[in-house]
Amino acid sequence: MNELDSLVESAQQLFAQAVTPADLENAKAQFLGKSGRVTELMKGMAQLSVEEKKSRGAAINVAKQAIEAALTARRQALADAELQTQLKAEALDVSLPGRRRGQGGLHPVSLTLERIEGIFASMGFDVADGPEIESDWFNFTALNTPEDHPARSMHDTFYVEGGTETAPNLLRTHTSPMQVRYAVQHVKKYQALLDAGQSMPEIRVIAPGRTYRVDSDATHSPMFHQCEGIWIGENVSFKDLKVVFTDFCRTFFESDDLVLRFRPSFFPFTEPSAEIDIQFQTGPLAGKWLEVAGSGQVHPNVVRNMGLDPEKYIGFAFGMGPDRLTMLRYGVNDLRLFFDGDIRFLSQFQ
């Protein structure tokens, strides 16, 4: 075997031994680098005659091309091997059983709120949303509950300084602030009619949402839900409240075997006022009076704060507890279960 053949062979062997691209580049340098063996052979031709240069040069070139071909082949082989390892590492076992995505659902209280909204919407009520961070003007003062009124102490909540009509300073203790908030917007919308001495469309709205008080036991949570309802017009009476609320309860509980009681009570913003109790005639709760809402005829001072003349406009308001309604509907005895976030409990309502 001549010298050039054995040079090619030793290059092939060295390339074959390279396991990483870096090994391979080092091996390449030994043959094709600046002072590599092929380069040295080229330099060695300097003293040869022109004829000899021709044949020697051609032979060296053949060897060089063979070395380059071996290098390219090895590079490709190393790249292929690398790809294979990577593919193996990232391989998916398509025979593994799949992981199911858990199916979400609505919270039981949300189900109740949707139900309440649907029933009142069918009776022509609008559904409104209000801020949970409220001003003491809307939460108390506008509702005929001035700063020194004892009823404020029953609504203990989180306060900061301030509290004007536009600067919120407390967590609302009930949804009743929505009575004046909504009415003021409504009146603004129809101000031109009122100014012309004409009648405006009635105010008929419910406002569900979160409310806050310093209270925590099996039937009270510091965060709870309320749903306000208000109907104001020129000729709306307590009788309408009775009809609307009775209809609502019977539809909500899908039972005509249900009676209501309006028990005299006190709220600063209604006069007269009543607690609404319900009693099932059949089923596990039969015979017990259950309190579900506060209600009453909207106080003239509140009507005035809405921007309306209490001599002309009259109506009723109620505030019910959707959490309580959810407990009754599903037979849940501890309110806290709703807000613990235990998926085993919550998934039962799907």
Applying CB under 6 A, the residues found at the interface with ligand PHE are 174, 176, 267, 270, 273, 294-296, 317-319
CA 240 – CA 60 distance, rounded (Å): 110
Instruction: For the CB of residue 116, give the shortest distance to ligand PHE in the complex, in Å.
Output: 14
- Choose between 108 and 294: whose C-beta lies nearer to ligand PHE: 294
Instruction: For the CB of residue 296, give the shortest distance to ligand PHE in the complex, in Å.
Output: 5
Instruction: For the CB of residue 269, give the shortest distance to ligand PHE in the complex, in Å.
Output: 6
- Choose between 209 and 296: whose C-beta lies nearer to ligand PHE: 296
- Choose between 27 and 335: whose C-beta lies nearer to ligand PHE: 335
- Choose between 28 and 112: whose C-beta lies nearer to ligand PHE: 112
Instruction: For the CB of residue 318, give the shortest distance to ligand PHE in the complex, in Å.
Output: 5
Instruction: For the CB of residue 226, give the shortest distance to ligand PHE in the complex, in Å.
Output: 6
> What residue is closest to ligand PHE based on CB?
319
- Choose between 317 and 335: whose C-beta lies nearer to ligand PHE: 317
Instruction: For the CB of residue 194, give the shortest distance to ligand PHE in the complex, in Å.
Output: 24
- Choose between 108 and 177: whose C-beta lies nearer to ligand PHE: 177
